[in-house]
Amino acid sequence: MERQYLIIPQIDELEQSFALAKEYDAAFEYNDFFDPLVYGQEEEWRKRVEIYKSLPRERSKDTLHGVFLDIAFTSKDTKIREYSRKLMKQSMSIAEKMGVKGVVFHSGLIGSLNTPAYLNGWLQEAEGFYRELAMEFPGTEIYLENTFERSPETLVRLKERMADVDNFFLCLDYGHACLTPMDIQLWVEAFKGKTGHIHLNDNDLVDDLHEVPGEGKIDFIQCKKDLAQLEGVSVLLELTGIEKQKRALTYMKNL
């Protein structure tokens, strides 16, 4: 099965984004709607929805990145928690209106805080809310992305607890995983069979630089072998800028 690649459309260069996606048979992952200047103004996000929907292209393979800036959906502060959850539901609602496949969310976990009380509390709150979200939007997939976690254990535990929920998956951010102390192959093994989507770019193995694949220090020969274990899972080449996206698509297609 041929890998489905996605790119981030640039609304100010939409003609070029459309042409590039058509040339490489790529889908879109919309990054507009996690920006407070967009999601905070109903007129603005509705305008963007209509602009994207006006393009003569199929959107059922597209994805959308949900809110994450200052989001704390498991906060003990009820006002912060409820507002965060309201915004996450808004992301799901926008995705539903767009007719896209799914929405990516960050875990919100503090990666360096590994006490059982903290992790078990997060698991309980996250499971309850993601079950609610999955039930409210059954036609839209949810992808939980590894961000600052130092190991895959907690996200894997959540997925295993939610094994009965058909539209909840993990999103492997390969570049993020390469920045952790744990070997990347262990991340891939842990995520196997639990992953619905992948984020991919290159870095210097120190910082999350979002470089074009093949232009940093990640071993993409090994990456190709790793991704083969996650067969059929869509891959966002998480880069901004038409030229970078074209270089990335060309590199990955020829790898």
Tell me what pLDDT residue 94 has.
98
DSSP secondary structure code for residue 34 in this structure: G
Q: For residue 255, give the nearest of 9, 226, 233 by alpha carbon.
A: 226
Q: What is the pLDDT of residue 1?
A: 62
What would you report as the CA-atom Rg of the chain, rounded to the nearest whole angstrom?
18
What the block records as the tokens of 43 is: 């007129």
Predicted pLDDT of residue 177: 98
Would you state the pLDDT for residue 15?
97
- The residue behind tokens 């990054």 is 31
Q: What is the mean pLDDT of each run of 10 residues along the chain (255 residues)?
A: 91 97 98 97 98 97 98 97 98 98 97 94 98 98 97 98 98 98 97 98 98 98 95 96 98 94
For the purposes of burial, counting CB atoms within 10 Å of the CB of 154, is it exposed (0-12), middle (13-18) or buried (19 or more)?
buried
